[in-house]
Amino acid sequence: MKILLLCNKSPWPPLEGGPIAMNAMVTGLTKAGHQVKVLAVNSNKYSVSEQAIPEDYRQQTGIEFTFIDLAIKPWPAFLNLFSGSSYHVDRFISHNFEDALTKILTKEKFDIIQFETLFTSPYLSLIRRLSDAKVVLRAHNIEHRIWQRIASGCYNPFRKFYLSHLTRTLRRYEIKILNEVDGIIAITGKDADFFRSVAPATPVIDIPFGINAADNNNILVPEHKQTQLTLFHLGSMNWVPNQEGIRWFTSKVWPQISRKYPELRFHLAGREMPGWLKKMKIPGIIIDGEVPDAKAYMQAHDIMIVPLFSGSGIRIKIIEGMLAGKTIITTSIGAEGIACKNDEHLLIAEDAEGFINAIEKCLKTPAIINDLGINARNLVKSAHDNVRLMQKISDFYDQIRG
Residue 213: the pLDDT is 63
Containing 124, the helix (H) or strand (E) segment is: helix 124-130
pLDDT band, residue 379 (cuts 50/70/90): very high
Residue 149: the pLDDT is 82
pLDDT of 222 strictly over 70: no
Per-residue pLDDT tens for 163-186? 999 999 999 999 999 999 999 999
Which homologous superfamily is 215-383 in? Answer: Glycogen Phosphorylase B; (3.40.50.2000)
Sheet holding 134-139, edge to edge: 64-68, 35-43, 2-7, 112-116, 134-139, 183-186, 204-206
Bridge partners, residue 268, by sequence: 233, 287
Residue 43: the pLDDT is 95
Residue 16: the pLDDT is 81
Residue 383: the pLDDT is 85
Percentage of residues of the chain with pLDDT beyond 70: 96
pLDDT band, residue 241 (cuts 50/70/90): confident
Residue 393: the pLDDT is 97
> Could you tell me how many residues make up the chain?
402
Least confident of 1-10, 161-170, 213-222, 228-237: 213-222
- Tell me the domain boundaries of the chain: 2-210+385-401, 215-383
Q: Strands 64-68 and 112-116, how do they pair? A: unpaired
Label residue 331 left, alpha or beta by phi (over 0 means left) and psi (-120 to 50 means alpha). beta
Contact criterion met (CB below 8 Å) for 169 and 118: no
Which homologous superfamily is 2-210+385-401 in? Answer: Glycogen Phosphorylase B; (3.40.50.2000)
Residue 384: the pLDDT is 87
Per-residue pLDDT tens for 299-325? 999 999 999 987 666 788 899 899 999
Cα–Cα distance between 348 and 39 in angstroms, integer?
Answer: 38
∠ CA 364-370-373, rounded to 5°: 120
DSSP per residue, 154-215? ---HHHHHHHHHHHHHHHHHHHHHHTTSSEEEESSHHHHHHHHHH-TTS-EEE----B-GGG
Helices (H) and strands (E) in the chain, counts: 17, 13
- Average pLDDT over the chain reads 92
Contact criterion met (CB below 8 Å) for 224 and 346: no
Residue 279: the pLDDT is 84
Per-residue pLDDT tens for 325-352? 999 999 999 998 888 999 999 999 999 9
Note whether 2-210+385-401 and 215-383 share their fold.
Answer: yes
Residue 212: the pLDDT is 77
**Preceding peptide of 13 cis, ω within 30°:** yes
Greater pLDDT, 120 or 50: 120
Cα–Cα distance between 191 and 206 in angstroms, integer?
Answer: 8
pLDDT of 370 strictly over 50: yes
DSSP per residue, 60-81? HH--EEEEE-----HHHHHHGG
Per-residue pLDDT tens for 78-128? 999 999 999 999 999 999 999 999 999 999 999 999 999 999 999 999 999
| pTM summary value | 0.79
Cα–Cα distance between 90 and 173 in angstroms, integer?
Answer: 11
pLDDT of 10 strictly over 90: yes
pLDDT band, residue 227 (cuts 50/70/90): low
Residue 224: the pLDDT is 47
Bridge partners, residue 139, by sequence: 186
Residue 62: the pLDDT is 96
Residue type, 374: I
Sheet holding 327-330, edge to edge: 285-289, 265-269, 230-234, 303-306, 327-330, 347-348
Residue 353: the pLDDT is 97
Cα–Cα distance between 138 and 140 in angstroms, integer?
Answer: 6
